[in-house]
């Protein structure tokens, strides 16, 4: 028996605060090559890490209003992507 994996729905209201939190520490993590565990945990707790997962794999799918917004916010949060 196969059980479908379902991800929690992304919290759109948390997107800006989570990316601001990541952006505030990104340069330091880039300098030290450390893993930003706290920021990744915050993104996970808000359901943001699965925002672009296709519906057939348990995600919100490409119709999610968060999909384009998440890419823009992540690019703003991570200096190397600029």
- For the chain, how many structural domains are there in total? 1
- Given a cut of 70, whether residue 63 has pLDDT beyond it is no
Does residue 73 belong to any structural domain of this protein?
yes
Give the global pTM: 0.64
Does residue 17 belong to any structural domain of this protein?
yes
Does residue 52 belong to any structural domain of this protein?
yes
Cα–Cα distance measured from residue 73 to residue 58, given in angstroms and rounded to the nearest whole number: 22
Does residue 7 belong to any structural domain of this protein?
no
Kindly report, residue by residue over 24-33, the tens digit of the pLDDT: 998 899 899 9
42-70: b (≥16 Cβ within 10 Å) or e:
bbeebbbbbbbbeeeeebbeeebebbebb
- Over range 14-42, report the average pLDDT: 90
57 lies in which domain range? 12-29+36-81
Strand spans (E) along 1-82: none
pLDDT of residue 82: 47
- Given a cut of 60, whether residue 66 has pLDDT beyond it is no
Does residue 1 belong to any structural domain of this protein?
no
- Given a cut of 90, whether residue 34 has pLDDT beyond it is yes
């Amino acid at each position: 028996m196969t059980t479908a994996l379902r991800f929690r729905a992304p919290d759109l209201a948390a997107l800006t605060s989570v990316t601001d939190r990541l952006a505030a520490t990104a340069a330091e993590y880039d300098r030290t090559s450390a893993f930003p565990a706290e920021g990744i945990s915050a993104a996970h707790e808000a359901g943001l890490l699965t925002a672009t997962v296709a519906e057939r794999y348990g995600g919100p799918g490409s119709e999610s209003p968060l999909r384009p917004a998440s890419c823009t916010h992540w690019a703003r949060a991570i200096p190397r992507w600029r």
